[in-house]
A and B are shown apart, each in its own frame.
Chain A
Amino acid sequence: MSTPKLPVSLAANPRLSSWVRFAEDGEVTVSPGKVEIGQGIVTALAQIAADELDVDIARVRMVRASTTASPNEGVTSGSLSIQHSGRALRHACAEIRQLFLAAASERLGVDAGALDISDGTIAGPGNIRTSYWELADEVSLDRDAAPNVTPKPSARRALAGQSVARIDIPDKVFARPRFIHDTALPGLLHGRVLRPELSRAKLVALNEDAARTVPGLVAIMRNGSFSGVVCDSETSAEAALRALRKGATWSQGDALPDENDLAAFLKAQPVESTIIDARTSDKPAGKARTIKRQYTRPYIAHGSIAPSCAMAQWDGDRVRVWTHSQGVYLLRADLALVLKLPVENITVEHMEGAGCYGHNAADDVAFDAVLLAKAAGGRPVRVQWSRADEMTHAPFGAAMAIEVEADLDAQDEIVSWRHAIWSNGHAARPGRASQPALLAAFELENPFPRMISTNPPQANGGGGDRNSIPLYDFPSWTIESHRLLTMPVRTSALRTLGAQGNVFAIESFLDEIAAERGEDPVAFRLRHLTDERAKDVIRAAARRANWKPMPKPGIGYGIGFARYKNTGAYCAVVAEIEGEEDIRVKRLTLAVDVGEAINPDGIINQIEGGAIQATSWVLKERVRFDAGRITSNSWTDYPILSFSEVPAVQVEIVQRPEIEPVGAGEAAHGPVTAAIANAVFDCLGVRVRNLPITRDSLIAAMELSS
């Protein structure tokens, strides 16, 4: 028998007391290393803990992650929080429950097997009872987790599988401050940073005279090309920043690529090429012909509704930082690098920001706040980016060009498949390299080199190559990734990394081949899959959408499928669109399999949200730029889907209570993208291979096909 292993987050942070403590007032304090970024994770983790400990969820108090005490769970990303934090907590709570049962057994003189726990009260025959809280002094949780602990079987969990209401929602509808933007610290000052319009322009000269006259100004800070103001109110800070901008002289910036020919740009750059996967057939079949297509996606902005925000406060050579970063320890590591301070001098605490869809400017603004707070004489400073800076200087999701090629035999069956990706790397997160990833670090008098994004390895889901290996059982394939070694447009992790582009390419190309064969695209996919969970979600989505409804003029239907990262959630979707000059997505019908569904409504919320966000990416979104500047720096220039344009969304969860749960936040984007493109073809007979699908790209595709 193999030695039982601890869940990965628990192995990294084995001390039980770092996860769970029993407070004197009948509360359970649960302290995960993952953070709330609008995905509802805190509620799902509270459910898991309450379930395993047998306490009412109302007793569970969730602690925000902080480098002072929380387990270090790296970054809250990749739809891994349930897998990492959830499994660790379940395991830790199972052991804690056993420890308390043993202690209760001793105190009450009854065999542990005769005891039961209900809402934290441990009771046995003859009305004998004690509780977690009574025993808390006797049971030390300052011990390392043991691997040989078995959590409850799924059938004995009372809360898992229930749509428990989110614990953060009441605060948000009753205007109780929860966001970092709304948090008042005593003596709080307000900072704003001056950033160039021209890409990476350097600050040549700065006349501070006008800014100095603004009432409420506390300090002006300049270090190389980084500069900003600290004032006693936001109104003053905005006024001082406007004055400072007028006094700034900038160098010419760096050239940006041609936004209308991203594929040519991506394929002309120096690259690092990697074979991601290769499969060879032992019985090579004859190829009769080869077809080849190219698909592209543009740069995509995060576009959180709140601009990035942080607070910082210095005390001598120690600094405290409040941030909506996805990783408090990783941010701390980068701050230690740039500040040349030991990590012990830096405390980083999480506070909620607006919805986070990847590596946005949260970490950048935290360093901005740390820099500006140096000029604040020990008072805390809150720094908030402008909307324009948020849409210009935050990292974007990387543009991609993807070539897919298939060899078909005489019966038009796929005998070989090639998939090649050109893209910048999809990750330049802080805290992982020997150089910092924070924007201001590139702007200082003694700047750090600008980080060029890399890709996580396939074992961690890959980056630009995420979801590039087909789940379909083609006899042979070669998957290759070309990562750019130049990066004129700053990119990093945006929801799904490369998966949206790769699934769009694979699922579009499959549709093209099915159409050439005259075969139903659902049947074609099912015929090439052996994984029953994959087939089940496709069948479920097709059944729910009555695949395939009778053709109607002006209406089209398309299917898309993927298993996120090839190891995560399965998701299939049928898109119904209405198309003439513009495309309107009318309905998305999705089926998803995340294994055990801890909070079904939370999963539906995530899938629904992902589907709507993906629809926005597909129909609307593209970062715009001219030769020297990002031009899509407002909601007018970077429109997203509006309420009237949002499709109806139906989500069906394929229940698998016995299978370890995985996250749902990124499962829908790729399949939805492909399903919409496939529905456009079904409706108009036009294959759009360059995202977004707009009136312009439709006309271009029509011209290409005629």
Chain B
Amino acid sequence: MPHTRFRLNGVVTEVDDDPDTLLLDVLRGRLGLTGPHFGCGAGECGACRVIVNDHAVTSCDAPLWSVADKDVTTLEGLGTAEQPHPLQRAFITEQAMQCGYCVPGILMSAAALLKQNASPTEAEVRAALDRNLCRCGSHNRMVRAVLRAALDMATP
């Protein structure tokens, strides 16, 4: 089996799975992560989004080979309880969820947005999250949380 090498949350990782294996299955199955969630398996709901280099991509329909030699960041790599990412802090402050199943994907989409656009408008935040679905109706809280995080990151 060929090796696929990529950096996962900053750590060089080698996987000897079939390169056509779906990235989500590698992350959750072989590597045992629980940040990225399975929602639809078709790249439609965004619960499985991870950041590859600087872009949030759906890992449920991305083959392993597509991340070869790239940087993959999952929710586990965003921050910890001890050193939270401003987005994680803001989601707690805004109580920005009900069930929270979609949250890992939303956080990764938002993190990718803030990398590219440090001070997005509300409409830009919504547009960036349009390919993430939330069924509980927590959208507005999440948008507020992303804007709060952006403000937080801009404050020295």
Task: Judge if A605 is at the interface, Cβ distance under 8 Å.
Answer: yes
Quick one: which of A303, A355, A616, A643 contacts B98, CB cutoff 8 A? A355
A179-B101 Cα distance, complex, nearest whole Å: 8
A632 to B: closest C-beta gap in Å: 13
Does B45 sit at the interface, judged by CB under 8 A? yes
Contact B98 A40 (CB under 8 A): yes
**Shortest Cβ gap from B22 to chain A (Å):** 7
Asked if A553 is at the interface of the complex by the 8 Å CB criterion, the answer is no
CA distance A170 to B100 in the complex (A): 10
Q: Is B127 an interface residue (CB 8 A)?
A: yes
Q: Contact check: which of B40, B100, B102, B127 meets A387 at CB < 8 Å?
A: B40
Contact of A174 among B84, B95, B125 (CB under 8 A): B84
Task: Name which residue of chain A comes closest to B47, CB basis.
Answer: A305
B130 at interface (Cβ–Cβ under 8 A)?
yes
Whether A354 contacts B99 by the Cβ 8 Å rule is yes
Closest residue of A by beta carbon distance from B129:
A643
Q: Are A387 and B42 in contact (CB under 8 A)?
A: yes
With a cutoff of 8 Å between Cβ atoms, the chain B residues found around residue A38 in the complex are 98-101, 136
Report if A119 contacts B (CB, 8 A). Answer: no
B42 lies within 8 A of A634 (CB): yes
| A175–B35 touching, CB < 8 Å | yes
- Residues on A with C-beta less than 8 A from B4 are none
Asked whether A307 lies within 8 Å of B39 as measured between CB atoms, the reply is yes
On whether the beta carbons of A613 and B135 are closer than 8 Å, the reply is yes
Q: A646 touching B136 by the CB < 8 A rule?
A: no
When the two chains form their complex, are residues A235 and B22 in contact, meaning their CB atoms are under 8 A apart? yes
Question: Counting CB contacts under 8 A, is B139 at the interface?
Answer: yes
The answer to whether B35 touches A303 (Cβ under 8 A) is no
Contact, CB under 8 Å: B35 / A643? no
A246 at the interface (CB under 8 A from B): no
Contacts of B120 in A (CB 8 A): none
Bound-state CA distance A170–B75 (Å) is 13
Task: Give chain B nearest CB distance to A233 CB in angstroms.
Answer: 5
Contact of B39 among A176, A306, A640 (CB under 8 A): A306
Give the contact stretch, choosing among A3-11, A78-86, A109-117, A161-169: A161-169
Q: Which residue of chain B has the shortest Cβ distance to A599 in the bound complex?
A: B95
Determine the residue in chain A with the shortest Cβ distance to B24: A234
Interface of A is mostly: loop
Set B101, B133, B142: member contacting A640, Cβ < 8 A: B133
Q: Which residue of A lies closest to B103 (CB)?
A: A172
List which B134-156 residues lie within 8 A (CB) of chain A: 134-143
Tell which of B37, B41, B92, B101 touches A169, judged by Cβ atoms closer than 8 Å.
B92
CB < 8 Å: which of A175, A384, A609, A643 contacts B136?
A609
Q: What residues of B have a CB within 8 angstroms of the CB of A384 in the complex? A: 38
Provide the residues of chain B in CB contact with A169, threshold 8 Å: 91-92, 95, 97, 100
A77 neighbours in B (Cβ, 8 Å): none
Interface membership of A1, Cβ < 8 A:
no
Q: CA–CA, A172 to B25, complex, Å?
A: 20
Among B88, B101, B135, which residue has its beta carbon within 8 angstroms of that of A173? B88
Asked if B25 and A612 sit within 8 Å, CB to CB, the answer is no
Decide yes or no whether B74 CB sits under 8 A from chain A: yes
Query: Any chain B CB within 8 A of the CB of A601?
Result: yes
**A294 within 8 Å of B by Cβ?**
no
Q: Does B115 contact A (CB under 8 A)?
A: no
User: Within 8 Å of chain A (Cβ to Cβ): is B16?
Assistant: no
A437 interface residue (CB < 8 Å to B): no
The distance in angstroms between the C-alpha atoms of A39 and B136, with both chains bound, is 9
B residues near A304, Cβ cutoff 8 Å: 99, 101, 135
From 599 to 651 in chain A, residues with beta carbon under 8 angstroms from any chain B beta carbon are: 601, 605-606, 608-613, 616, 634-636, 640-644, 646, 648-649
Interface check A386, CB cutoff 8 A: yes
A612 with B34: CB separation less than 8 A: no
> Which secondary structure dominates where chain B touches chain A?
loop
If A355-B98, A384-B38 touch, whether A175 touches B104 (CB-CB below 8 Å) is: yes
Q: Taking the nearest CB of chain B, how far is it from the CB of A592, in angstroms?
A: 15
Q: Which residues of B contact A354 (CB under 8 A)?
A: 99, 101-102, 135
Taking CB atoms, residues of chain A closer than 8 Å to B34 are 175-177, 179, 181-182
Q: How far apart are B109's CB and chain A's nearest CB, in angstroms?
A: 10
Output the least CB separation between B50 and chain A (Å): 11
Q: Does B44 sit within 8 A of A, measured CB to CB? A: yes
Q: In chain B, what residue has the closest Cβ to A352?
A: B99
Q: Judge whether A609 and B130 touch: CB under 8 Å.
A: no
Known: A635-B45, A644-B130. Contact between A173 and B103, CB under 8 A?
yes
In Å, the complex CA distance between A357 and B134 comes to: 13
Q: Is A433 an interface residue (CB 8 A)?
A: no
B74 and chain A: residue at smallest CB distance: A175
Q: A644 touching B39 by the CB < 8 A rule?
A: no
The answer on a CB contact under 8 Å between A172 and B97 is: yes
Q: Which one of A233, A353, A386, A643 has the highest number of Cβ atoms from chain B below 10 Å of its Cβ? A: A643
**Residues of B with C-beta under 8 A to A181:** 34, 37-38
Of the candidates B32, B44, B95, the one having the most CB atoms from chain A within 10 angstroms of its own CB is: B95
User: Is A306 within 8 A of B47, CB to CB?
Assistant: yes
Contact (Cβ within 8 A) A306 B21? no
Q: Does A184 contact B (CB under 8 A)?
A: yes
B45-A643 in contact (CB<8A): no
What are the residues of chain B within 8 A of A609 when measuring CB–CB?
A: 98, 136-138
- CB distance A608 to B101 under 8 Å? no
Q: Write the chain A residue with the least CB distance to B30.
A: A233
Q: Is A37 an interface residue (CB 8 A)?
A: yes
Contact B47 A387 (CB under 8 A): no
- Across the interface, do A306 and B37 meet the contact criterion of CB distance under 8 Å? yes
Contact A165/B95 with A235-B25, A635-B44, A643-B143 known, Cβ cut-off 8 Å: yes
Nearest to B100 among chain A residues (CB) is A172
In the complex, the chain A residue whose C-beta lies closest to that of B138 is: A609
Contact B95 A303 (CB under 8 A): no
CB contacts (< 8 Å) of B47 on chain A: these are: 305-306
Other 6 A-B pairs with CB < 8 A, given A40-B98, A307-B39, A355-B135: A168-B100, A174-B84, A175-B76, A305-B47, A610-B137, A613-B135
5 chain-A/chain-B pairs, Cβ below 8 angstroms = A175-B75, A387-B44, A634-B40, A634-B42, A635-B42
**What 3 pairs across the A-B complex have the smallest Cβ distances?**
A38-B99, A612-B137, A609-B137
